[in-house]
């Protein structure tokens, strides 16, 4: 009898040790009694593969929050890469009413995807918290390719329709949409191939499997220096200081650049007190020196919008995205989803 | 800079008391991470990020790399003792490791796992130092068609993983492929086979399937057969708790092959340790003189899985450090850490920050040695856990498995999925279906599909793209060979015996 009890004791102790370890992994409601919010570590979900821009911003937020003591509790990052954005956003969608959870998102994905695909949610289901930054991208070709400028690429596309291939993260991403609009304007056609992430698309540009892709300018820098890649177009409002000779989309007469508005949002029906606290936290993060420094390094621009402004911006922007998708032939004329 | 000089720099950096201590801490944390299924190195690096960012880049890398090495070993412990794959890459270790444990050879199995990890790790670091620039070029040349052929080759290993009945192997693999299609389609974003469940939108994660099929299935079967007093015998005497010289001699050819396979697969972006361990197990079985022993407790099975697994860790670092392209989710997290420090992994990391590269190399060396020193003496103690009466042991297994599965998404739904696969695993055992085939297909299915569709878009619908490109063609030939491996092997063995 005693022996049996000892084993029960042992297994109980084992369970306790394992649970303690889980607390380290920080998702146990530790002091639910305290009324203070946040009462436990706040989770931040990102949909991009590790090393992608949204993922890096999430880690930056976690670090700034800790260093500047913006919240009484730490922020930790969860990665849900895959399926464009579906993995992360359905995770968020499941956690209705949860107040210790937010996500980094960008306008192209959260607004664009539900327009094109039947999903149980649109951007309206989620709770906007704040916009934190904007960034453009650059179009890259392999340094070995015959294309020296954007005109070369367009001429090649004109000469042999549907031969060139653009790579990118998903067909609803900003870069895919930009490509569609360009094709429409210039009356040319090329293919689009989805890859697991922007970096994978870049690898395939270097390897000559695809012809071009859009990428974060700071990820390109080293490869331009090493002579692997060449930049031919800047999808931003102004020319990049690092690539002064590269024209912007507008200068090249290719429509408007798709700029990523990176924002924070919460799960559906997030309690108001949480939104308020996180909104204020986001403002402090954006104003911190470390955030500014990172923005400079990554050639991004800080841009704060509070929850109200963000909601209004999304509503406006969705109309724009919809129009662009109709123009690009990704949707029917009335904005309904195309049947295959 | 030549290699010897670089390595000296690296060792000089790592050999400070504090850094060696960090290697130790990293190795221990890694071992714990490896034990829990679900909690992978990616999530752990994300959790540890704030701590790590307070260090200097080199010390941060030293700790994290040691953690990687530790996790690889920790996964083997639960795989062997509980048939519970703690890391996805240890699914293969379960196949023979657990069988060895049932035969009272848990100690030698874990010893072999430790030594195989050590060999795979150390040899692959040498390969990394010498071949990094060349291998990086290879990674870039590897496009969708090559990727398709490689993953198809992995898929055709079903014939080697299956038991007696080939039909059952294919049926299990087909089930795996069907399960792999669940979730949102990456090309169009539309939903497939989700039955309206939000939880299924991001697909079925193979961790819960693996825990269900292997661990829960085994438990259900044991419960039905009546409660045994304990899981396996624990032989007395240290000699019986560690692998014998004969075991080690038997494994040497496997180590060489698996390390090379593991390293190469690791270098290729997007594949990683799981594919490496499956491939090297398949190759080990198909080149063995006694393939029938595999799956019933063959030492080479454990050796193949563990050495390939570790070799792929160093392989995956190559494209990350030299090109800024992570080879696996784990190395991608290392890249995030470097980026957060303001360092840009890429063609200029090695010339401009040699201390990072050589620091990583040296800390992997030391971590591997340290893990061997920590783990070998621990084995006789860990093995004692087998004395735990089975009616308590299975509670522990369920708890560890459930916590692991729950920790991935914090979703109760996942536990139900795990439970369902537990029942399926039980049926598989009863009907003699190979669960490994299902898992292989579930893991490789999305990769094969993605690469296939990318290639077909690139070639405008022509299948010739797979044959026209030489590397892809070679892999396709291997795929065909792998598909017919069991018959070819029988033929050649019969011929040799005559």
**Secondary structure of B267-310 as H, E, C letters:** HCCCCCHHHHHHHHHHHHHHHCCCHHHCCCCCHHHHHHHHHHHH
What separation in angstroms does the CA of A135 have from each of A131, A257, A263, B266?
Answer: 12, 10, 12, 33
CB contact under 8 A, B186 and A165: no
Q: Which residue of A has its CA nearest to B352?
A: A222
Q: What is the structure's pLDDT at A32? A: 42
Q: How far off is chain A from B450, nearest CA to CA, in Å?
A: 8
Other residues' Cβ atoms within 10 Å of the Cβ of residue A60: 25
Please report how many Cα atoms fall inside a 13 Å half-sphere around the Cα of residue B226, on the Cβ side.
1
Instruction: Please answer yes or no on whether B458 and A209 come within 8 Å at the CB atom.
Output: yes
Put simply, the answer to whether A203 touches B326 (Cβ < 8 Å) is: no
Q: B132: closest CA among B356, B284, B306?
A: B356
User: What pTM does this model have?
Assistant: 0.86
Question: Distance, in angstroms, between B164 CA and closest chain A CA?
Answer: 36
pLDDT for B145-179, tens place per residue?
A: 999 999 999 999 898 888 788 899 999 999 999 99
Q: What is the pLDDT of residue A18?
A: 58
Q: What is the pLDDT along chain A (340 residues), one digit of tens a residue?
A: 445 555 555 555 555 555 555 555 544 444 444 457 888 899 999 887 777 788 889 999 999 998 999 999 989 888 887 655 677 888 898 889 999 999 999 888 888 888 877 788 899 999 999 999 999 999 999 999 999 999 999 999 999 999 999 998 777 778 888 898 899 899 999 999 988 777 888 889 999 999 999 988 988 888 999 999 999 999 999 999 999 999 999 999 998 888 889 999 999 999 999 999 999 999 999 999 999 999 998 899 999 999 999 999 999 999 988 888 887 777 888 878 876 5
In chain B, residues with a C-beta closer than 8 Å to the C-beta of A50 are: 42, 326, 329, 332-333, 335-336
Which residues in chain A have their CB less than 8 angstroms from residue B198's CB? 90, 93-94, 120
Q: What local confidence, expressed as pLDDT, does residue A232 receive? A: 96
Look at A171 and B403 and tell me if their CB atoms are within 8 Å.
Answer: no
Query: What residues contact residue B235 under an 8 Å CB cut-off, 6+ apart?
Result: B104, B107, B241
The answer to whether the Cβ–Cβ distance between A170 and B47 falls below 8 Å is no
pLDDT recorded at residue B186: 74
Nearest CA in chain B to A162: B460
Q: Closest CB to A51: pick one of B43, B336, B348.
A: B336
The whole-number pLDDT of residue A171 equals 77
Size of interface A-B (CB pairs under 8 A): 191
Q: Which residue has the tokens 């470390």?
A: A290
Q: How many CA atoms lie within 13 A of B400 on its CB side?
A: 29
Q: A83 to chain B nearest CA, in Å?
A: 5
CB contacts of A113 in chain B (<8 Å) are 189
* Model ipTM over 0.95: no
Chain A hits for B51, Cβ within 8 Å: none
Contact B185 A8 (CB under 8 A): no
The CA distance from B414 to the nearest CA of chain A, in Å, is 12
- Exposed/middle/buried for A327, CB within 10 Å: 0-12, 13-18, 19+? middle
Residue A141 is encoded by which pair of tokens?
A: 């070709």
Q: At what angle do helices A272-287 and A53-67 cross, to 10 degrees?
A: 90
Best B36, B42, B50, B203 residue to mutate vs chain A (most A CBs within 10 Å)? B50
How many helices (H) and strands (E) in chain B?
23, 2
Contact between B93 and B76 under an 8 Å Cβ cutoff? The reply is yes
CB distance B203–A79 less than 8 Å? Answer: no
The residue ranges of chain B whose pLDDT is under 50 are none
Q: Is A147 helix (H, G, I), strand (E, B) or coil?
A: coil
* Bridge partners for A134 per DSSP: A261, A301
| Cβ contacts of A218 on chain B, cutoff 8 Å | 344
pLDDT of residue A189: 93
Residues 6+ apart with CB under 8 A from A287: A304
On chain A, the residues whose CB falls within 8 A of the CB of B39 are 25
């Amino acid at each position: 009898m005693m022996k049996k009890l000892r084993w029960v004791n042992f297994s109980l102790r084992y369970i306790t040790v394992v649970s303690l370890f889980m607390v380290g992994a920080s998702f146990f409601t530790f002091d639910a009694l305290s009324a203070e919010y946040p009462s436990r570590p706040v989770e931040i979900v990102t949909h991009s593969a590790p090393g992608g821009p949204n993922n890096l911003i999430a880690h930056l937020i976690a670090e700034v929050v800790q260093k500047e003591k913006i919240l009484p509790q730490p922020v930790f990052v969860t990665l849900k890469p895959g399926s464009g954005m579906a993995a992360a956003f359905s995770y968020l969608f499941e956690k209705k009413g949860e107040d210790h959870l937010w996500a980094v998102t960008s306008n192209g994905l959260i607004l664009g995807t539900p327009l094109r695909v039947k999903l149980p949610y649109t951007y309206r289901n989620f709770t906007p918290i704040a916009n934190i930054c904007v960034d453009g991208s650059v179009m890259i070709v392999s340094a070995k390719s015959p294309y020296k400028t954007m005109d070369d690429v367009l001429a090649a596309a004109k000469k042999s329709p549907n031969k060139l291939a653009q790579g990118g993260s998903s067909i609803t991403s900003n870069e895919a949409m930009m490509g569609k609009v360009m094709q429409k304007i210039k009356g040319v056609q090329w293919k689009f191939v989805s890859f697991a992430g922007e970096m994978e698309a870049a690898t395939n540009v270097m390897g000559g499997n695809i012809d071009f892709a859009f990428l974060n300018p700071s990820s390109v820098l080293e490869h331009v220096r090493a002579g692997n890649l060449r930049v031919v177009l800047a999808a931003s409002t102004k020319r990049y200081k690092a690539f002064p000779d590269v024209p912007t989309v507008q200068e090249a007469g290719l429509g408007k650049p798709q700029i990523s508005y990176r924002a924070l949002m919460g799960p559906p029906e997030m309690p108001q007190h949480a939104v308020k606290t996180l909104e204020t936290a986001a403002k402090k993060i954006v104003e911190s020196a470390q955030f500014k420094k990172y923005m400079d390094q990554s050639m991004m621009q800080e841009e704060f919008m509070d929850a109200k402004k963000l909601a209004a911006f999304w509503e406006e922007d969705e109309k724009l995205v919809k129009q662009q998708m109709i123009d690009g032939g990704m949707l029917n004329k009335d904005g309904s989803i195309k049947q295959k | 800079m030549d290699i010897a000089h670089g390595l000296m720099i690296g060792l000089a950096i790592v050999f400070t008391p504090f850094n060696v201590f960090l290697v130790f801490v990293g190795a221990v944390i890694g071992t714990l991470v490896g034990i829990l299924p679900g909690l992978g190195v990616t999530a752990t690096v994300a959790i540890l990020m704030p701590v790590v960012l307070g260090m200097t880049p080199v010390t941060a890398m030293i700790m994290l790399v040691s953690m990687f090495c530790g996790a690889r070993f920790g996964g083997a412990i639960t795989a062997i003792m509980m048939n519970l794959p703690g890391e996805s890459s240890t699914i293969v270790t379960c196949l023979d490791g657990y069988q060895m444990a049932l035969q009272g050879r848990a100690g030698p199995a874990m010893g072999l796992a430790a030594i195989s990890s050590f060999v795979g790790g150390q040899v692959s670091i040498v390969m990394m130092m010498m071949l990094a620039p060349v291998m990086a070029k290879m990674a870039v040349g590897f496009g969708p068609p090559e990727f398709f052929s490689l993953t198809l080759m992995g898929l055709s290993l079903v014939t080697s993983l299956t038991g007696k009945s080939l039909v059952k192997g294919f049926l299990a693999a087909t089930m795996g492929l069907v399960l792999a299609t669940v979730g949102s389609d990456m090309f169009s974003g539309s939903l497939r086979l989700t039955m309206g469940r939000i939880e299924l939108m991001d697909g079925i994660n193979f961790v819960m399937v693996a825990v269900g099929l292997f661990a829960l299935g085994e438990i259900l079967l044991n419960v039905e057969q009546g409660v045994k007093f304990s899981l396996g015998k624990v032989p007395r005497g240290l000699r019986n708790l560690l692998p014998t010289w004969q075991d080690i001699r038997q494994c040497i050819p496997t180590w060489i092959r698996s390390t090379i396979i593991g390293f190469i697969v690791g270098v290729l972006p997007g594949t990683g340790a799981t594919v490496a361990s499956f491939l090297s197990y398949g190759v080990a079985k198909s080149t063995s003189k006694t393939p029938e022993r595999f799956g019933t407790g063959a030492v080479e099975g454990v050796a193949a899985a563990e050495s390939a697994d570790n070799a792929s860790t160093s392989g995956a670092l190559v494209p990350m450090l030299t090109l800024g392209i992570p080879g696996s989710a784990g190395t991608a997290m290392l890249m995030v850490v470097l980026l957060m420090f303001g360092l840009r992994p890429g063609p200029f990391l090695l010339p401009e920050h040699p201390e990072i590269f050589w620091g990583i190399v040296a800390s992997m060396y030391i971590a591997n040695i340290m893990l061997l020193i920590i783990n070998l003496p621990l084995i006789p103690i860990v093995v004692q856990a087998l004395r735990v009466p089975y009616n308590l042991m299975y509670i522990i297994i369920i708890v560890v498995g459930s916590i692991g599965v729950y920790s991935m998404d914090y979703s109760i739904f996942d536990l139900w999925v795990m439970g369902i696969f537990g029942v399926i695993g039980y049926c598989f055992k009863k009907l003699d279906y190979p669960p490994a085939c299902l898992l292989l297909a579930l893991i490789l299915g999305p990769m094969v599909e993605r690469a296939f569709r990318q290639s077909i878009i690139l070639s405008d619908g022509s299948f010739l793209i797979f044959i026209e490109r030489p590397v892809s063609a070679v892999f396709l030939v291997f795929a065909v060979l792998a598909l017919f491996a069991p018959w070819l092997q029988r033929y050649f063995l019969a011929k040799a015996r005559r």
